[in-house]
Amino acid sequence: MKSKKLSEQIIKTFKSSGFVFSEPDVLLDSEYIIQRSGENFKRSMLTFENEDGKLMCLRPDLTVASCIKFLEKKSKSKIYYSGQAYRSTDKKSSDLISDQLGIEILGSKNQLQDDFKVIKTILNSAEKIKSKKIHIKVGDIGLFKKLINSLEMPERWKLRLIRHFWRPKYFEELLERLERNSDIDSVAFDSDKKRFYEMKTMDQDKVIAGRSVAEILKRFNKKIKDPRSFSEGKQIVKIIRTFLKINCKLSKLDEKLLNFSKNNNLKKNIFKEFKSIQNLKKLNQKVIFITNFGRNIEYYTGVVFEIFSGKKEIARGGRYDDLLKSLGAKKNIPAVGAAINLKNI
């Protein structure tokens, strides 16, 4: 009964902020998800064959399910949902089912306004249902991308580091390789080259793992033309690791980033376009900024955040401007959302 009352309070807050109810499908086409999502979903999906022999899965994520429904033109762009997500995990103590109440702005037209709107709405809900002090951890995947793209290193390495940022263990392996100046061996390089010429004969619009053949060939072309040796890896890795250690109050972030840029001989204005983060200074809560944050969900592209009551994480969310395209949209559709974990309230 208590849980039901809390849910009603949260939904009331969502409605008052202009969000409209949408119920994403529970059953999804497994092949559709596998072709268009990353490795985390592939590993965690609970799949089965239906009576027609088609591979289906229980929705592993309510954001993904909401995006699919939006693309099918079955929902509005500013929605809230209430339901369960089903994901397997390697952690023995983790539940297969999570109960969530969440909001999404799909087709976000104003990044500053919408990022703040989502965080503020979730925060308002949290304040009404929790008595313990609320605090927020926040990061921005966009800042990491800004840093990587500003560094003097082969384009090939930039693409790798950005692409695998959400995989901390493999990312660290990449840093170690970059630090040792060891790149792909000659056998792998020859294999890439052979595959490149094979794919040039294929239908350029064909989609493989969420990307068209034309897009894959463009990446292959850069990879093949890039220099195969790089002597500044050790210094580059030092800069990246220093950046990923930044952990401070949001009020101190300007100073921290300025000192970081100065100490590493970077341009002072490298991080000037992070207004979404600075906008959060308007929140009347303790906000901690962490650069090494938001790496457990691969589809985030910008601001990421978690809201805590005491030591319990009660909500998380972020911006995901590439997800809808990976799920079948013709172009990137800006989006941001968040969900409350009902188990922790």
Question: What is the C-alpha to C-alpha distance for residues 1 and 9, in angstroms, rounded to an integer?
Answer: 13
Alpha carbon distance 313, 104 (integer Å): 19
SS3 134: strand
Count of H helices and E strands in the chain? 14, 14
Nearest to 243 by CA among 277, 291, 287: 291
Residue 9 sits at the vertex; the CA angle it makes with 8 and 10, to the nearest 5 degrees, is: 90
- DSSP letter string, 260-278: HHHHTT--TTTT---HHHH
Count CA atoms closer than 13 A to 236's CA, side-chain side.
Answer: 23
Distance CA 242, CA 125 (A): 36
Give the model's pLDDT for residue 61: 86
pTM for this entry: 0.80
- CA-closest candidate to residue 293, choices 308, 282, 301, 304: 304
Residue ranges of domains in the chain, CATH in brackets: 1-131+335-345 (3.30.930.10), 133-169+235-309 (no CATH)
The secondary structure element, H or E, covering residue 63 is helix 62-71
pLDDT of residue 1: 45
- Residue 343 DSSP label: G
Are 220 and 196 a contacting pair, CB within 8 Å? yes
In the chain, the DSSP E strands lie at 20-21, 27-29, 47-49, 55-58, 78-86, 97-106, 134-140, 207-208, 211-212, 247-249, 286-290, 303-309, 312-319, 335-341
Smallest CA-to-CA distance from 141 within 105, 174, 171 is with 171
Residue 51's pLDDT is 85
Per-residue pLDDT of the chain (345 residues; tens, 9 = 90+): 457 788 888 999 999 999 999 999 999 888 877 766 656 667 778 888 888 888 898 998 899 899 999 998 888 899 999 999 888 776 665 668 888 999 999 999 898 999 999 999 999 888 777 657 888 999 999 899 999 999 988 888 899 899 889 888 999 999 998 888 766 554 555 566 677 778 788 888 888 766 788 888 777 776 665 545 566 889 999 999 999 999 999 999 989 999 999 999 998 778 877 777 888 888 878 899 999 988 777 789 999 999 998 888 899 999 999 989 988 888 999 999 999 988 887
Report yes or no: 312 and 133 within 8 Å, Cβ to Cβ: no
> What is the Cβ-side half-sphere exposure of residue 145, based on CA atoms within 13 angstroms?
16
